[in-house]
Structure formats: C-alpha cells, structure tokens
Structure 1
C-alpha cells in the first residue's frame, strides 16, 4: 500500500491553515501601519518616538518624584505609571480590608451584622463607580476654606485637602522610606510563601524573616536620619498660616476621592468574594477542628481562613486586575495617573498612535505582572492532589 501524499496529512493541513492565518494577520497589520504612515505624512505629521526626549512644557498636579515642565515626556509617563501603581496599592489594600470585614459580617451569626453587611454591599455595588467618584470629590471640595478649616487632634480638613501629621524629613527621604517598606514587605511575603524556603527548618526561616524585617527597618531609620534637618521637629503638624496651611502631609482632594471610591466600591465585591470563600469551607472540617479541642479563634485562623483564602484567591485575582484598570477614572477629577498623562501628551504632541500603543503596553505589563504574582501565590498555597481514603 503506497503512502498518502503529504498534503493529505491532517497535521500538515492544520499547520498550513495556522501559517496562512498568521500570515494574513501580519499582512493586515503591516498594511495598517503603512496606511497610517502615508496618512500622517500627507497631513505633515511625523511618526516615531523621538518626541519622548522633548520637554513637555506642562506640569503635573501630583507626582511621587520631583517633576517640572522642562522634563521630557518619558519622565512624565514614568511618573504616571508610579501614580497608577500608588493608587492601585492604596485602592487594593483598602478594598481588601473593607471586603474582609464585610465578608465576615455577612458570614457571621449576628443578624444585625449580616444586615449591615448586606446594606453596604447592595448600596456600593449597585452605584456606578464614576458616580461615587464624583460624589466624594464634591464632598472633598465642598469643605471649608483654609481659614475655616476643620481641626481635630492635629488633623486639618479644608477644600484644599486633608492635612495630617508627618515626619520632619525631606521629600527624598520619605520616598526612600516608602520604597524600602514596599521592597521589604514584598521580600517578606516571598520568603514566607515561596516553595523553595519551606524545606528550611523553622528556626532558620524565622531568623531569615527577622533579618529581612531588620534590614528594612534599619534602611528606613537611616533614610530618616539622613533626611532630617538638624534643629527641626521630627513630627510636624499642619498649622494655619494666613490663607495657606503649612506643615504636615497634604492629601489632595483628587487622591482622597479616587481612593475612597475604589476602596468602597471594590470592598463591596471583595466582601461577596470573601463570603463565598467562607461558604466553600465544609462544615465537616470545622466540626473536626472543634472535636480536636481547638478554640473558636484557632478554628478560624488555622482552618476556616486558610481554606477560604484558597477558594477565594482565583476570583480575587480577576477583581484586583479590574480595580487596577479602574484607576483610569481619575482623569474625571484631575488625578495625574498614567491614563491622564497619556491623554495630555496626545493633546500637546499629537503622537496619537504611539502614545496609545505606550498606554496599552503599560497596562498590559502592570496587569500581567499582578496576575502572574498572584497566580504564583495561588499555586504555592494550592493543595496538591486529592486526599482519597482507601479501604483495606
């Protein structure tokens, strides 16, 4: 029996179809690029990324690092990314804390707590996020002016923002301290959850964790000492000075309103995820833990919470990625996040296609990184295999 011609092979046909499909996509993309280049040339518009090194000639109302109108576009975009990550960390942390409390209220036996948790979820989950953002921004900007600012225990609240006590260190030292805390916290979480360190003996693991925390604390103290001006107070409190407020740390209305909106809106969804995670824990496992003589707190901390966390983490990953993308709504109130920097750069430079590409690539990197880290954590805490009892 003679062999079949190669073109009649199913695997060859599949490869040919996939190759043709990819070739059509590449050709379509190339045609779109050539057409866009021709149209831009016809309108005397240049393409490329040379504009990234030019000065912007505009200012940002908030940045974690020093920014001036003479800085190039790439520096402004980097500051926009940092602002987005900064707001993402605040929003995700607050939403997680609120969601945990609301989820526990909804899962508890107290009828009043369950009712309050239900009311919270039904109110904040069913109101659009943009509506909540406008509401909190209106509240923040409707506060009294600096001369009539509300004062309480070292805190001031005015239409210019919320002022809190702060460390008497330079701005650069404060950024270094926050960076050290972020890096140290991530290193501690990685050291505790990484699979490679689970084989290390417990005393050595405890010593390693304390070493990471010690280095982090020492770095923060060193940055604070070097950044403190001799002869000044270590703790500064906001004080009225005519039409302005000096001292302390200012939280701008844009930051306050966006953070509150993301935390309260995201907390409603996280609360339902937490409730579902606790419901996924079998009653038999809880009864078995109580039969072993564990207290209610031990049952919660060692049985219910770990098992519920394993059940809720895959859904939390999707919610966290969504909340990171929700930071783009900050443009509605003037918060200088990555999206607003790109939109302003398009207005000033006219490089629409390049800047849209940078925007998409930036959010893809942010969300892919977040999802990859959380998926790695999910794989690290997942129960391996199934526990099947075999009768003999």
Structure 2
C-alpha cells in the first residue's frame, strides 16, 4: 500500500478521485436540499411545464408564435431572437470597428483623432445607458402619419418599416443561406488544397459557383412567393398606422445601434492592436520587393493582423452575445426575457434558469469552437510577427 503511494501517478490519480468525489457530493447535496425545500413549500419540480400553453404574446419574433404555444416553443423563439440580434449586432459592430481601427492606424492625423474620440466616447459610457438613450430616441420619432420616407422605407416612432418580398419564411431562409454561400464559397475555393489546380486557375470555378448560387437563391424566392399577393410588399400609410412591408421594432433597433456603437469601439481597439502587432520589417520587406501599398496591406499586413487579433476578437464577440440580455430592460423578447416571464408565470425557477444557462453555454461554446477552429487553421508556426 505504502509502496503504491510512493508512485507519483498513483498519488495524482487518488487526488483527482477525491476532488471529483467532493464536487459530486456538493452537487448531489445541493440538489437534495433544493428538492427538500421545494417539497416543504409545496412547489412542484420537473420539466413537465414545458408542454403547457403560455397564453402570452411577444412583441418581436423571428419565428411564428401564438398564445396557445407551449413554453418549449417560446424558448426556441427566444433563442432565435437572441441569435438574430447577436448576429446583426456583431456584423455591424465589426464593420464599425474595422473602420475605426483602420482610422486609428492611418497616417492621417485627422482620422487618428476622430478614431480616438470615437473610442474614448462610446467605450466609457455604460452599455445599458446607451441602450436607454437610443430606445428613447427611436420611440420619440414622428408618428406614423408624419413618418420619414427613406428610399421606400418608413421611419416612425413605431419602428422602421421596410419593403419585403411576399415569400414564405422557409424559402426566404433558404435563399439567405444561398446568398451567404455565394460569398463564402469562392473564398474557400481559392484557399482549399483539395483542388489540384493552382489558386490563380480557379477564378472561373469561383465565378460559376457564385453565379449558380445566386441563380438558385432567385429561383427559391420565386418558388416561395405567396399566391394572390404582390411580389413586393411596400409599406404605406393606411389610416393612422403603416401597413405593408415588415416592421423592425424600436426595441430591436435600439439594441442593434447600442451594441454596434459600443462594440465597435472595443473592436476598433482590437483591430488597431492587431495592425500594431505586425512588425515593421515585414512592411519594409514588402516595399523593397516592389509591392504597392495596397498589395502590402492586403497580402502582408492584413493576414498577419488577423492572426494576431482573432483570439481577442473571439472573446469580444462572446461578450457582446451575452450583452444581448440587456434587451429585458426595454422589453425586447429575447431568450433572457422569455425565461424571466416563465419564472414569474410558472414558478419553475430552477428549471428555467437551468435552461437559460444551458442555452447560453451552447451558443457561446459553439462560437468559441468556431473561432478556435479558424484560429488553428490560419495559425503560423513559431512567432513570425516580430519586428
């Protein structure tokens, strides 16, 4: 016995067993204590409430939802709303952050000053305060009768009304997937090693793939057209309200604007740090080889900067996804708000919070796994960013 304890591997294994056992005892003890407390207060536990009808309506929903739908479907609706808000916020914040980061690394002193003012201003104002400000701003726009007309769109205090195709939602989703694939597939075709042709000889294949996917997206939209309705629904004033098109709620607009401006300030600093991490020697070597400034930027600085900023950018994206929970402050029907309403209405606190935690863990771990995969794919062996 004592001879086994002298072995370092045996001692490590025993310590790990005791550690895991202690955690298991704590978890089991907490669960039993919670069950006893719930029984004393005559509160039922379990997930049977998920199949009960909710009886409420949300103010925003990507998926169709009715008051007689069960709780589990509203959880799905909440996750879809959170993902839609997070995707819109991350994409717009990335565009703003890229512009701000490039301005801060520019040789133009005015652009540098404007980028620094932007970062110092929006980064140092709490996000919740920006959400309240933009919600107050969009809800104090003119009434529908005096709505602003912007290229066929109507902007009023009740939201932004935009023209939309009278196409079934499933067909619109399929066409959107084709459009995204039409953008990403050529990029993959030029970089993959599974095709024996050299990259410069794959342009025709990329063009055919993009045109084919765009044509497929058009055919899907035409096939999913709602019969008996005009192909394009344009918002128009009818009575005291706007009809037609699709409505983007003020809550969604305020959250997207706040996340874009706030997240753009942080992403701008990440972009600036990524370009600063590229050594001056690489830039000077590109100039000595006769590369133009654009060639040096697109082929030297940008790829190396992306490799440097990607890990930090992943952390920022995950943080911004979690920041979507601030929608509850202005009544946006995201995953967090639906869970909060579920707790108030059904009393299933532990179960609802467990579902909330599991949902955000699934979203954020999936996002982290994607970024880790991309980071591993583009990583360079050794440190090649030194000046």
**Which TM-score applies when normalising by structure 1?**
0.91
| Distance in 2 of aligned mates of 1:205 and 1:384 | 27
Length, aligned pairs only: 384
Q: 1:104-130 CA distances to partner (integer Å, 9 max, x unpaired)?
A: 110011111111101100000000000
| Distance in 1 of aligned mates of 2:131 and 2:383 | 46
| 1:314 and 2:311 are equivalent in the alignment | yes
Q: Which position in structure 2 is the counterpart of 1:108?
A: 106
Q: Which position in structure 2 is the counterpart of 1:293?
A: 290
SS in 2 for 1:240: strand
Q: Which position in structure 1 is the counterpart of 2:61?
A: 63
SS in 1 for 2:155: strand
| Structure 1 unaligned regions, length at least 5 | 388-392
TM-aligned CA deviation for residue 157 of structure 1: 1.1
Equivalent position to 2:6, from 8, 20, 23: 8
| Distance in 1 of aligned mates of 2:383 and 2:277 | 16
Q: What value does the CA root-mean-square deviation take over the aligned residues?
A: 2.4
TM-aligned CA deviation for residue 89 of structure 1: 0.8
SS in 2 for 1:162: strand
**Which TM-score applies when normalising by structure 2?**
0.92
Q: Which position in structure 1 is the counterpart of 2:266?
A: 269
TM-aligned CA deviation for residue 55 of structure 1: 1.3
| Distance in 1 of aligned mates of 2:383 and 2:146 | 65
Q: Which position in structure 2 is the counterpart of 1:43?
A: 41
Q: 1:135-180 CA distances to partner (integer Å, 9 max, x unpaired)?
A: 0000000011111212233221111001222224344433333344
Alignment of 1:120-269 (within 5 A): 120-182=118-180, 184=181, 188=185, 191-192=188-189, 197=194, 201-202=198-199, 206=203, 209-210=206-207, 213-214=210-211, 216-229=213-226, 232-269=229-266
| Structure 2 unaligned regions, length at least 5 | none
Equivalent position to 1:331, from 328, 332, 343: 328
SS in 2 for 1:40: helix
Q: 1:300-345 CA distances to partner (integer Å, 9 max, x unpaired)?
A: 1111111111111111011011011011111111111111111111
The 3 A distance-change label for structure 1 pair 297 and 201 is closer
TM-aligned CA deviation for residue 201 of structure 1: 4.3
The 3 A distance-change label for structure 1 pair 193 and 280 is farther
Q: Which position in structure 2 is the counterpart of 1:390?
A: none
Equivalent position to 2:93, from 92, 95, 111: 95
| Distance in 2 of aligned mates of 1:135 and 1:7 | 64
The 3 A distance-change label for structure 1 pair 353 and 303 is same
| Distance in 2 of aligned mates of 1:196 and 1:46 | 57
SS in 1 for 2:58: coil
Q: 1:273-297 CA distances to partner (integer Å, 9 max, x unpaired)?
A: 1111111111111111112221111
8 A Cα contact 2:271 2:309, kept in partner = yes
